[in-house]
Amino acid sequence: MENVFFKDIETVSKMLRNQEITPVELTKQLLERIQSVDSVLNAYITLMSEEALTQAAVLEKELKEGNIRGPLHGVPIAIKDIFETKGSVTTSGSKIFEKFVSHHDAEIVTLLKKAGAIIIGKTNLHEFAMGATTENPHYGPSRNPWNIMKIPGGSSGGSAVAVAAGMAFGAVGTDTGGSIRLPAALCGVVGLKPTYDLISTAGCTPLSKSLDHIGPMTRTVADSRTLLRVCADAEKLKQVDLSTRLGDLKGIKVAVCKEYFFEGMDEEIAMHIHQALAKLESLGAEIIEVDIVGISEAIEAQKMIFKAEAYAFHESMFLDKPHLYGEDVQFRLQAGKGVLASEYIQAKQYQQAFQQHIRFKMIEEHIDVFFSPTNVIPPFDIGSVGPEQSVNNIFRLGKTPLGNLLGLPILTIPCGFTSERLPIGFQIMGRVYEEGKVLAIGEVYEQSENWVAYLEKNEVFQVEKTI
């Protein structure tokens, strides 16, 4: 069973359909692995053992009867503990919600179950998804499996750790400023932030309504495509062509904006990022350099919208019980408290203008995707940054927040390691509802680097040496 934990969803699904393993056996073995490994990594807040085994038994019976719900039938999937699950606690990583039990499933949970997924557990996160490190003061920090002293990124850190360390075959996270893409890059997995509103946020604790996205975190690009097909809104999915496949990148135009996106990069990371860009070119892509007008104003607009909308949701709870929030989240909410209505409105107007500018530019200049690093520095030590400094961690770690302001689909893909064996990722951003093309481009790169084969070798994580 050891190697099964690091297989992709497609392979595991075939094994289940061919009865090489049953859903119940797979779930039991995975739960045993989680109970062993997660004592160190702390990827999960709630392990849903009983519910998962009950689901597995039902799915196993259906499988024997030839009734296959979908591509995830019998496959254990993790969800960030920010999605409501009927009859079980949804903490959102906070003490305020530590006893909150929903009477219904979030929309995305309903869709996962409908497709046959087994919800194995609810993963750790930065409190209320309001940070980039997953150093949770209430439930403990999640640890990067490549070096357990390092952060895994956030806020969907537990989801990235679960996938990277063979504790789930895929996971679902949220992304408001990079919270899927940063932890995916820092843990060496694939992360997809789809077009804004392609996946419903119903039943998900909000952070910033204008910027919140939900998306998959997986080992391969193909697995992200599978999860997206399952989780997306059925009507909106009609605008997305997920059948797109590319043999090479001839005819694909990749734009690079050096201002902001390539600034502040660690030297080792810069080397790998430029190698990845050169690989795309060798695969046939045309690389062009472009300028983007208004980046600094866009970043300020993103910050203003985030602060105002986060505070609006938390205001009554924060005024009533501020001491229940972690220190870093208190700093963030205090920052949002003073935002004027006029400042928020101006930021929203700028968001709309900036979106139109970038979308028109992509069409006018025939740009298929923008390319940039995901993380610009390696993950730093857990506990090395104080709560008053943590507000800027997402801007320090990577170049992800503008993607949320734009609402465009962005895929992050592993592209190497630092000399200390810490993962690096790059991201490609496509046009509205062009997830199919973005995934196809990512898949061509992924296969050229034979990343899947590398993961299947299961290079020994630091955590494996400690248990």
Pull the structure tokens for residue 278.
Answer: 């050169």
How far is the CA of 294 from the CAs of 260, 351, 430, in angstroms?
11, 11, 19
Facing residues of 119 across strands?
77
Where would I find the beta strands (DSSP E) of 49-193?
76-80, 118-123, 135-136, 140-141, 171-175, 190-193
Cα 127 from Cα 129, distance rounded (Å): 5
Asked if 322 contacts 329 with a C-beta cutoff of 8 angstroms, the reply is: no
Considering only CA atoms, give the Rg of the chain. 21
The H-assigned helical ranges of 365-466 are 393-397, 401-406, 435-448, 451-456
Strand-strand pairing, 190-193 and 213-218? antiparallel
CA-based nearest residue to 30, from 55, 1, 63: 1
Pull the structure tokens for residue 203.
Answer: 């039943």
Asked if 178 contacts 84 with a C-beta cutoff of 8 angstroms, the reply is: no
Buried residues in 392-419 as b, exposed as e (16+ CB within 10 A): ebbbbbbbbbbbbbbbbbbbbbbbbbbe
Could you identify the residue written with the tokens 């995934």?
A: 439
Output the furthest CA–CA distance in the chain (Å, rounded).
Answer: 61
The H-assigned helical ranges of 18-121 are 23-41, 49-64, 107-114
Could you identify the residue written with the tokens 């061919």?
A: 18
CA-based nearest residue to 56, from 113, 6, 14, 125: 113
161 contacts: CB under 8 Å, gap ≥ 6:
41, 43, 123, 124, 142, 143, 144, 145, 152, 167, 183, 187
List, by residue number, the catalytic residues.
80, 155, 179
Strand-strand pairing, 423-429 and 410-417? antiparallel
End-to-end CA distance of the chain: 17
